[in-house]
Amino acid sequence: MMSTTATPEPIPYWRGLIRQYASFLPVEEDTPIVSLHEGNTPLIHCERLVKAIGGEFDLYLKFEGLNPTASFKDRGMTMAMTKAVEKGAQVVICASTGNTSASAAAYAARAKLKCVVILPDGNIAMGKLAQALMYGAQTIAIRGNFDEALNIVRELGETGKVEIVNSINPFRIEGQKTASFEICDQLGRAPDFHFLPVGNAGNITAYWKGYQEYHQSGRVSSTPAMCGYQAAGSAPIVDGHPVESPETLATAIRIGNPASWKGALNALEQSSGWIDKVTDEAIVEAYKLVASTEGVFVEPACAAPLAGLIQSVKAGRIPAGSVVTATMTGHGLKDPDRAIGCAAQKPDVCEPHLEDVSRLIGL
């Protein structure tokens, strides 16, 4: 037990992931860094969740919902926006299922750039839409899906008049790989398995790049198996073909033709990992379980790898004593409608009387 009289160590001022990991990133001394002090997110040890799913391993959740715009996208966006400013771009653009647009809008505001976001109308969680609007991005909702939005963005990018900040921009991947560095630094080693949701497949590509680079630099002595999960109605990589009309309640990963498909396959093969799909029902169960057993409230997409972990434990794929990490890519408050819709409990309503409240509590 730590002595209560010990002087607390001063907390270092965290200056964002680009400054922390500059030697691994494409930046120079005079690069104009655009940052909201993203990164340095908690790695939460979750014993109760492991017990609940009947496993015998150490599980750590990398809670990326605690980034400045409440998702992992900020890691890629600090890098992409920094490079956009460096090259003198005036307008940035992205297609998004919500989180990329929220992050792009915030970093563009910080960098004083015009931002245009293209979203699938009616399939964006409310918190994400609120963010894009508040940060001042021009917000265009198409009557179509994410894949169609990304096709339009690609074509606009070819005019040379706008800078694309989707993960087809390689600087996004560079920024996002730092999550692997942090996990290794926080654990003092690489995990044995890393679970994460897969949508456009940029993040699995980035994590694998990060783990490999840390390994090559000699900071860790191994790399994890990468374990990706898609929603059953939006599982192009698992099914082996694009899905024309992807469906899932995990709208963040409602994607039928991932841009980084090859990157994902590469990560799976080289890391001896796997990719699989989980049903929306399994996603909802895991979504509720992680909130109620650990106090970690994530958005539904993050529950896909947790549902996958439950599946993997049942299949005997996780040996006892393993160190497992899972990325919780976005905060639960992004999608309050879904949370309220899924919660087992609704508020008990009563008159403002002590007796009524006491009766409801059972006192």
Q: Does 197 bind ligand F0G (CB under 6 A)?
A: yes
Structure tokens belonging to residue 83? 């490079």
CA torsion angle for 306, 309, 310, 316 (degrees, to 10)?
Answer: 180
Site for ligand F0G in 94-133 (CB under 6 A): 96-100
Q: Does 175 bind ligand F0G (CB under 6 A)?
A: no
The CB-of-165 to ligand F0G minimum distance in angstroms stands at: 10
The CB-of-7 to ligand F0G minimum distance in angstroms stands at: 39
Q: Does 237 bind ligand F0G (CB under 6 A)?
A: no
What φ, ψ does residue 304 adopt, rounded to 5°? -60, -50
49 to 88: interface string for ligand F0G, x by CB under 6 A: ----------------------x-x---------------
86 or 148: CB nearest ligand F0G: 148
Q: Determine the longest span between alpha carbons in the chain, in angstroms.
A: 68
- The Cα 172–Cα 154 span in angstroms is 15
Q: Does 253 bind ligand F0G (CB under 6 A)?
A: yes
Q: Classify the phi-psi angles of 245: left when phi > 0, otherwise alpha if psi is within -120 to 50, otherwise beta.
A: beta
Helix (H, G, I), strand (E, B) or coil at 89: coil
Q: Does 201 bind ligand F0G (CB under 6 A)?
A: yes
Pick the closest to residue 311 from 239, 219, 225, 229 (CA basis). Answer: 229
31 or 138: CB nearest ligand F0G: 138
To 5 degrees, how large is the angle CA 36–CA 69–CA 111? 45
57 or 261: CB nearest ligand F0G: 261
The CB-of-104 to ligand F0G minimum distance in angstroms stands at: 9
- The Cα 212–Cα 26 span in angstroms is 17
Q: Does 199 bind ligand F0G (CB under 6 A)?
A: yes
Enumerate binding residues for ligand F0G (CB under 6 A): 71, 73, 96-100, 167, 197-203, 252-253, 299, 301, 329-330
